Structure 1
């Protein structure tokens, strides 16, 4: 009898990466949703008996330890990105595992357990480890790359398969044989009774070996990576892979192909009764049976077949053929030559794929072919598909005004290269563009993922410029215009307006020699400034496109696929961008954000695991969330947690080096923008947390920052000072803020805009103190006065002298 669907087990919210089915009544599954589930067979099928918190990140592998006196239902063994192996007693599972095995330094991607309870684990750290009585017994070193598969032969012998394309047989901690033959990463292993063992690989092959090292035969039929193997009680092999299929092999012939409505069938396992269990990228566990009594209802079987038929198939999964050569539907009247044979037919402008089902004697539609037909099939190299096999040489276009990491990321994606090469590409760019400068009197800042936002300084006055213009680096509409080098006619309206926004200008009086100490107030007062400066310019479609692009890069690279957004996170991001699109539209399509704390948690999760070089659009998304989505932060402590995630994402606590790497430079700038927006509105944050924030900012290597970073950091401090204008700041926060501002002013010797914003912040604190009767005090005034004189002397601008004079008056 052919295998048909028996049960569908739906509860996981992300890819099911591994399954185990040690008995006819128990299925174990683990998922990228960080859970493991123990499913128990009931009269209504399988139901979840236990949902185990198997880790804080992706869980990739599972094994089963048979019952013991302490665990009458056995143990579930799980491993994943947390780098540990967790063991749960299935008779009475607790929130925390009963045992945790620590020793791996990277993702645990493979597990197996012997009848006596000995465990073997494989990891991206290139090792396998053998654990007896939940203690490390052997560390198996010898593979050059990740160990993707592990398997017990007996209590003292084990097999390991690796991304280095080899399989090793171990006795104790020693290698006794190495099997070579696969041309890509080895992903799965299974014992074949009376023969030896089987292996599967990203080379799309299944091979059967003797333990002595002889290849018995190869099984060809999969059209993409083969991820998992199992052996049925009959001795037949079942395999699963990236081509959406599970294949049943009798000897060296494929007797059935079971197509799934999912991109990847990550795992396959067999039950003692011969049923097959699969785990897929759609988050579903499925059971298939060759016994008709255990088949699903006719209605469920039809629904399943319809799901399969509705899938879109990439043409490279089917084969190379010209569309013009395809027959019409009439070709399906001829029977297939073997089970699993695939035939493509042209129906109008559409191309359909059909598979021969020998059990029913008919062709079953398995999907519509997309991505065009007739293109050359891609080659596999180190676990990733490539269009070319190393030639011709690849061109790397680059503008010297561009962030090298942005150019490198684009280059890697366009040429389908691994993201692990990004630092090498950046180094190549920097070495080959050293010394190149644009212009003679200015610099250009370009937003890291959209060229629409630029900062440009005007040429120097010696080049014939009538004035030096400062333009805010984030929005061309916000300008500060410095005093012309020759006296300008007095303005008709000498009223004051905000010095930071484009709609309001600060127009100082005629220049005068800098006094040794500004003791008289200026005729035009600035303080207090009660309006915060925020960075709300948004190109939401560009941001969404960049995050989607980076997510695709992670998803389609085997070594990083577990970092990609979970389905629920992708759904949350879609809702976030829809909400921000409405809020940032001109005019806004809605007035209040509809986002919830769960959306913020999803963004935090992505920030915590994405590679440093890919984080910048997510950090910049944080800038918009804190500016526009206030209701989403209503959960207690969530805003603080989000800010802490932004600090971590920018590698704030990593030692600083000079020069700051471009990727860190970008992430730090976006962190400061986000913080400025956090304090752009009235917020109620715990004083103790604010003190920690100032301590963190105090660790900043200010002299290493560029102009844009300095201005953004000064804006953060300025916006906090604005909060103190409307209501007095806690004395501890005020003192910390003053220390930060004085540190900035002491260090700043080149950028007048950062200095000016810091001075206004100091002025706000002095003004607020005087108004509330809580002046800054004599000691602070004594420290501030020489600092103000120094800043006024360093920057010979009227606005600097004017604000310094105002502060002097407030300090009297």
Structure 2
């Protein structure tokens, strides 16, 4: 049965700034909260019109969240409740906007309000890292406070069993008893958790800046993870008109509609951020976005907007999508890294990065003291490729950048000429705008990056942050799932059967571009267990031998759909500290284990993962045991089985490539592992500007390859980069300059061997040559 399409139903104009929150109330009314310091009630008029009947005022700062609290003893008509950046919560009479309730207790912005399941109970959460439970039937009573998060608490809801769930920027979800006793902490998201929604009597949903949605049981078990967004997800709402249906919204102007775990529709809006989404009882979708507009979408043709309105809306969407190809500071917005880059630690205090968020760009600075990336502000524009000068305060400049330094304040102009010392210009900017002196290096590097200076003026005494070099991380994906092409179900180490059947070979299946990750699945579990048991008695050096039962549990981690307890995974992590001489069977278990979504998430989380990846990279040293080197590569290949592992390997890709180039003595198994790793990197990075550096690594490794299966995989990696790289001309020149590889391509393309692997090489060589 065809799924009904959603179309625009109504556009609600009235707010003058971002609409940060939308909610539904009785009789299909809509509530909205905005940065313009007001909230509004929209009443349906006719079939598809809404009228602003009440504007709620009283907050001294942005209104960040809103909800409808049903009638209770003290407020028999119900209450419109808002939270604000002024740290307060206000309750209004629905009909006339009178302030009936003021709650003070949070020490920072209130970012979430929601009704509890019991009459008169209100929940709130704040940037002060707490959530609170208020009894509004007795507003003078002290709230119950839930303390324990390490960062802002973005959302709070009461689950159907009475548990209080909180979601935080510290990447965790906590479950509490109503007396503020902590029940458990849920980890799995790799970035800020932004919203929660009760899905059923026994389950709830969470969404995150890591572009994933997770389904949890009320006792804290992660039941599933859903992918579909390619950027931050800000809001999630259950659709009461669709079985197991919900809607999500986020960065990049995207709303997605889901049935169970399947994304059935994407709605694109002509905006940068869709801050909030809510579903009406009739199944209509309501959005609040960064352009200050509320939009309603419906699948009921009777409520579709008129054709002209829909046409204008669709044209606006096309324009905003085209804007992603615009340049900011000499870089195409679409070519700048997404928020995933912020998982990679900075290399020096004050290092800056430009990060794409939808059609806009934000600037971040690395703080060594805080060990985190701090947002400096929005990069509003400036295209150095444009001709002519820009006037600013009566003077012409090559560039006049606009940078948002402070939320809510107008952008500050940063003028610059190429002949100026960027540090002098940065110092003048700091003095002129009374900014902290600590901004000097950040601003100077920002100028160097955005002005795209090929060289610095002779008077310059600084250095540029290499945004186009080693810190330029742009994970790419050619699929709707953010960075998660489906892994191959075949073991790629089985030679000729790794990619194609004989029938496929005979029909010249296009091997390039390759669009999915491969992995190593095949294993002899008994042999691994026997070797672990043998080495277990030899660990020494403070490592206590494990019992047979513990060893069996560790080996079971290698089963693709295994269930495990935290203690067993802790044992595996401890075993990874075994001496290198007996480490290889532990690595073999690890490469199998990281295929499991839950294990992948824990091995490559932001706490353990970066150090784990760095440890793996040390095992790629040329003087290490060949078995350790080969199995470490297999671990890195299989890390691509899920998003956390993929992201951390991509973040360390330059070290990975350097390690592969430095390897000299490669046996056949190691050659296959190395080329498989390069193939996965090529799938991820083919459409990115730095694909040329990866191609150079592939070419250098191909010169060392003697195994035919390994050479074929390297060839597929090279062809994938050539087919999809935005720097195709440069890449073509690089391949031709490697005369040994170029000559072999020509030679292999003219052969017609009977051997299956050589036949694949011949066909792939022909395909690569066509791209040249």
Alignment TM-score, normalising by the size of structure 2: 0.46
Larger Rg over CA atoms: 1
Alignment TM-score, normalising by the size of structure 1: 0.44
